[in-house]
Chain A
């Protein structure tokens, strides 16, 4: 009897054909990958973080490889939300895969303005990056400021009616608490983890390798940290948790699903093999077929403890 494998996952207001998404910042505006993969095969595409005005980004050197990973300080360079809606969205519209816009601001008002502009666009939802500095509060991370997070979420909810995902930082020491706050303010889902703070030093010049000194560590090296945080957070909130961090193949993706993630994002792996995302979709499907698991929800959160 041939039962069709059901890989659909429901994340808040969205139903995705499978749990595989792309991580913001690693997939451009999606179009750069058109010649490598069939974009329609993905669960969702999350594009580069958008700000109210175009952002120049940081001086080079912007990245450095580290053992089983890399540190990046790109500096959130993007064409701005208006240009994205006008120039990129029309090209992305032809795909069935939902597009989620990652957004950020330098102050809470900017977050709200960007969300407001996206309300009338064709994006299926927004992912809110709170791992950036609040310029009005001396550069303090939004992610570390509980009251500011509530302000941002409530401001966004007044102007944006579709899917709202908050992307959490692993650097605040209280990711579960922040997830709980987001849940309390009524968002659809949380995604974690964003990158870990890291640095590298050139011993000849004695200067930091990155022009920005610090950057975000990503790649296989962070997977165990990400997985633990996803597991803890999935236990502490009822809203969907999207897992991110060092996923290189379908086995890594399955670990996150088993830990409780309803979906996963693939980031750094796209640089190593631009076809990673669809290979993971196929790999999950094959795993389900081999084990005769008909519904992906039977895998999600199925970790055996105790």
Chain B
């Protein structure tokens, strides 16, 4: 559960966005939707670990896609091949492990996915595409059809356009410089016929827009991977909470994937 992984590769792939591949050794396995909590420096500054969704994991190698937004990610961006990276993981529940949410209070929240063979749409915004990429690869392995949409601010911010095109991704940029012009929620409007499950990950603004577009559609279920400022990442400190049914629930433990119907945005 705690790994001293080695950097295999670490490179800039878009504006302020990096991709890192780590060798964690044979024992490491993960499921789509899970994350790893990285200790970015040996010192006490920055102190806390930084959590990152797993972009892909196979045969003990794990990949993340991250944006440089502060001290911790800046240090990560400077890691070179062969550098040691200590992380805790895999953490959190997978996209595919969904059904009953068991709350600490004893309450059980059941999320009914009634539709036997739903259409699956993956919608990612910014680095939110990372965990959805892992999900897409897994669905492809299982021969399950899906649609994949990536939203980004502009062409410079699009993540791995070539690799993602190969697994059928369509793109939407705010300014139309790549793919369709507009938000992913606009792209979604025309796609909501039949029984659908949307898996989504990205900024809260995007979640709000998706919620608006899908709110009154009984045939659409939205499962969203949340992100909250994290402390321990292992369920002990109660920092990373979202509100469900009047209770504060841990993103790192009961999440990060939650039924959008249950969450107050």
| B228 pairs with A60, CB closer than 8 A | yes
Contacting B239 at CB < 8 Å: which of A27, A63, A68, A273?
A63
Find chain B residues with CB under 8 A from A4 CB. none
| A63 pairs with B237, CB closer than 8 A | yes
**Residue from B236, B247, B248, B253 whose CB has the most chain A CB atoms within 10 Å:** B236
CB of B105 within 8 A of chain A?
Answer: yes
| B47 pairs with A220, CB closer than 8 A | yes
CB of A290 within 8 A of chain B?
Answer: no
Min CB distance, A210 to chain B, in Å?
10
In the complex, what distance in Å separates the CA atom of A245 from the CA atom of B195?
Answer: 54
**Residue from A36, A48, A63, A64 whose CB has the most chain B CB atoms within 10 Å:** A63
CB of B169 within 8 A of chain A?
Answer: no
| A68 pairs with B45, CB closer than 8 A | yes
CB of B101 within 8 A of chain A?
Answer: no
Find chain B residues with CB under 8 A from A57 CB. 238, 241, 248
CB within 8 Å for A64 and B229 given contacts A35-B1, A69-B47, A272-B49: yes
| B237 pairs with A25, CB closer than 8 A | yes
Nearest 6 CB-CB pairings of A with B: A28-B236, A271-B232, A68-B44, A63-B239, A32-B236, A220-B44
CB of A270 within 8 A of chain B?
Answer: yes
- Nearest residue (CB) in B for A209 is B229
In the complex, what distance in Å separates the CA atom of A87 from the CA atom of B1?
Answer: 25
Known contacts A57-B241, A70-B231; can you find 4 more A-B pairs with CB under 8 A? A32-B235, A33-B234, A271-B49, A274-B88
CB of B106 within 8 A of chain A?
Answer: yes
CB of B39 within 8 A of chain A?
Answer: yes
CB within 8 Å for A274 and B2 given contacts A54-B105, A72-B239: yes
CB of B190 within 8 A of chain A?
Answer: no
| A62 pairs with B234, CB closer than 8 A | no
CB of B170 within 8 A of chain A?
Answer: no
CB of A56 within 8 A of chain B?
Answer: yes
| B106 pairs with A272, CB closer than 8 A | no
| A56 pairs with B2, CB closer than 8 A | no
Interface on B for A, CB 8 Å cutoff? Answer: 1-2, 39, 44-49, 88, 104-106, 228-229, 231-242, 246-248, 253
| A274 pairs with B234, CB closer than 8 A | yes
- 21 pairs, A vs B, C-beta closer than 8 Å: A27-B236, A28-B235, A28-B237, A56-B246, A57-B241, A57-B248, A62-B238, A63-B231, A63-B239, A64-B229, A65-B46, A68-B44, A68-B47, A69-B44, A69-B47, A70-B231, A74-B238, A74-B239, A77-B241, A219-B47, A220-B44
In the complex, what distance in Å separates the CA atom of A28 from the CA atom of B253?
Answer: 12
CB of A239 within 8 A of chain B?
Answer: no
In the complex, what distance in Å separates the CA atom of A56 from the CA atom of B228?
Answer: 17
Min CB distance, A247 to chain B, in Å?
12
In the complex, what distance in Å separates the CA atom of A74 from the CA atom of B228?
Answer: 13
CB of A248 within 8 A of chain B?
Answer: yes
| B45 pairs with A62, CB closer than 8 A | no
Min CB distance, B77 to chain A, in Å?
18
| B1 pairs with A33, CB closer than 8 A | no
C-beta contact mask, A30-47 vs B, less than 8 Å → 1, else 0? 001101100000000000
Q: How many residues of A contact B (CB 8 A)?
A: 38
| A56 pairs with B248, CB closer than 8 A | yes
| A36 pairs with B2, CB closer than 8 A | yes
| B47 pairs with A65, CB closer than 8 A | yes
Find chain A residues with CB under 8 A from B48 CB. 65, 70, 271-272
In the complex, what distance in Å separates the CA atom of A64 from the CA atom of B240?
Answer: 11
Find chain A residues with CB under 8 A from B2 CB. 36, 273-275
In the complex, what distance in Å separates the CA atom of A36 from the CA atom of B229?
Answer: 22
CB of A97 within 8 A of chain B?
Answer: no
| A272 pairs with B47, CB closer than 8 A | yes
Find chain B residues with CB under 8 A from A271 CB. 48-49, 231-233, 236-237
Min CB distance, B171 to chain A, in Å?
29
Min CB distance, B99 to chain A, in Å?
21
Find chain B residues with CB under 8 A from A27 CB. 236
| A83 pairs with B237, CB closer than 8 A | no
**Residue from A60, A70, A72, A268 whose CB has the most chain B CB atoms within 10 Å:** A60
| A33 pairs with B105, CB closer than 8 A | no
CB of A26 within 8 A of chain B?
Answer: yes
| A79 pairs with B105, CB closer than 8 A | yes
CB within 8 Å for A62 and B229 given contacts A83-B106, A274-B88, A275-B2: yes
In the complex, what distance in Å separates the CA atom of A27 from the CA atom of B233?
Answer: 12
| A77 pairs with B238, CB closer than 8 A | yes
Find chain B residues with CB under 8 A from A56 CB. 246-248
Q: Which of A1-47 contact B (CB under 8 A)?
A: 25-28, 32-33, 35-36
Find chain A residues with CB under 8 A from B46 CB. 65
| B45 pairs with A67, CB closer than 8 A | yes
- Nearest residue (CB) in A for B233 is A271
